[in-house]
A and B are shown apart, each in its own frame.
Chain A
């Protein structure tokens, strides 16, 4: 079993250090902003100044997870769909407009996708396995698959999460490359997964990704059948914009994009919602269906033991 022990989300919701994120959720308007914790409590000011929003969010969420975990993480798996966009754009401007041979390297150094994971290892002085996955809308799901594999291989405290940041330039991509029916947002959600239950009650039971699925309903039903379940067992279904399956009237459904806003690793925040909902209710099974990009389907099943 893969127990979820600790969660830290920094999002456009009041989600950091709250006992039940569901009690605070509000549908996002167009002008919402990240509700940031006091980063200075987590990162020394000298380091903080250099860090872009996605790095601040990812690092702080990870430190919070470590603060709530006794042992050091023995594996770290990070998903990010578009990586460190602010520093990427900054360095594009730097070298396209350079008038001398001397360029500041900071933005370049911090532009690679694994700066998030690298900063986490540096911040926590952690020498363990450290992986960065990027696969558009299923970036979090593949990072989670890696984390569960780490547990199967014998790891005991795995940090898994995702982080993505919004930059104004992304708005130019709407609506052709990025849909414009939800506000573009930033977000980081990190989880500590362990094979041991101790005080935890909610598990990641299974996760899968499907590429170019021709029959999404069939894929989801098959995924559940592999767990000896049917759609009738699902009491909470979280989805991205359109629910691709028919559920019965007992199933609570929630379009997580209304709360996370749009970034391609937002299904991590959906997993936070699903966890808290199971933990604070009688519900046993929650399913996260992520087809934010219609040609890639992520399916994650949480269960309460």
Chain B
């Protein structure tokens, strides 16, 4: 059975829609800059310069929610545009998020600590599950709602869960992806881990020091063969491979040889019935932390040997959007296949000494791209891979 992709949408610091994202990717324009808000101004972040009220207005959102939920609605609405709900097509929404409504809760909790104007009612947006229910409500989807929360692999896992539910026959059509807003909680958290680069991040470069955070959301629509007959939608690409495996090495760090990453990539290739040589482009996890990029590079060498296909991290454009990254990068993968794009790995100068790998350096188009492999790795050693293929 085929898992067809019939819609995609995203919002990132390099664009509020597909066209803007592509324009930025093409012109090597990053979204990472000094933050403009009180809690972001000390950092280089991939911030979306719309307030919550502006988000609601721009995307005509009817449902209230945290910023995480609103970003999710903006992307999911774009993905679901042109789709029609029907009793005959069981439609679900599966979203990945790591912070849920923390952007609201952390402000309210500060009021609590300051013993001023504490309004517990505002915690109604806190639960990650609630943010997905709000996105589903905005789209009118109620057959199934699920939230995956596995840190930075959440969206990739949501995509995988959706594919499996279609394959099992539980759903006909499902909107899958992820969303995360910038919060003081995550900014302080990654600061405490000391894995920020105070400069613009440099994925896969020998001098890389750490990541820049970003915010955003990315969703795609998956449909079964049967659903396609009813919706009449034209497939844009196919989801052919997916996998999740545990590194079981450390709560936050990756194993030096990328054991979990290898397991995940291998299994995704097996499910897609592809050989490593069939992959035309890899969208790497590539956070630009010293640990991730070395570990992921070693895993590439383990899987692809010396014939590593063009690969790049797009996180020097968007920042690391945490739970949303797998959704945003799935949209980039679809665009790569549809338009023959290869995305440059911005800021790369010197290969990592141990591995010597050079990523894709220029924006290219018109390439023949049949299969894209996309990695997302999260805390807890949670490693996920999806493979998107041409129709």
Q: Which residues of A contact B (CB under 8 A)?
A: 76, 81-83, 89, 91-98, 101-105, 108-115, 117-119, 121-122, 124-136, 139, 142, 145-146, 149, 152-153, 172-173, 176-177, 209, 211-212
Contacts and interface: CB of A to CB of B under 8 A. Distances in A.
B131 to A, nearest CB: 10
B145 interface: yes
Contact of A136 (B129, B143, B149, B382): B129
Nearest to B188: A95
B124 interface: yes
A89 B319 CA distance: 26
Given A95-B188, A108-B192, A112-B149, A121 B144 contact: no
Contact of A92 (B106, B136, B250): B106
Given A122-B380, A211-B133, 17 more contacts: A89-B109, A92-B106, A108-B185, A108-B188, A109-B189, A109-B252, A109-B379, A113-B98, A121-B247, A122-B381, A127-B260, A130-B150, A132-B148, A135-B145, A139-B129, A177-B121, A177-B123
Bin chain B's interface residue count.
Answer: 35 or more
Contacts, number: 172
B246 A127 contact: yes
B62 interface: no
A177 B145 CA distance: 21
A10 B124 CA distance: 28
B248 A126 contact: yes
Interface string B93-107: 000001000000110
Contacts of A134: 127-129, 147-149
B184 A95 contact: yes
A149 B147 contact: no
Contact of B109 (A92, A127, A136): A92
Interface stretch (B161-169, B288-296, B339-347): B161-169
B382 A118 contact: yes
Most buried by A among B247, B259, B380: B380
B145 A211 contact: yes
Nearest to B109: A92
A130 B380 contact: yes
Nearest to A211: B142
Contacts of A145: 170
Nearest to A111: B189
B379 A135 contact: no
Given A109-B251, A142-B146, A118 B109 contact: no
Given A108-B189, A129-B244, A117 B148 contact: no
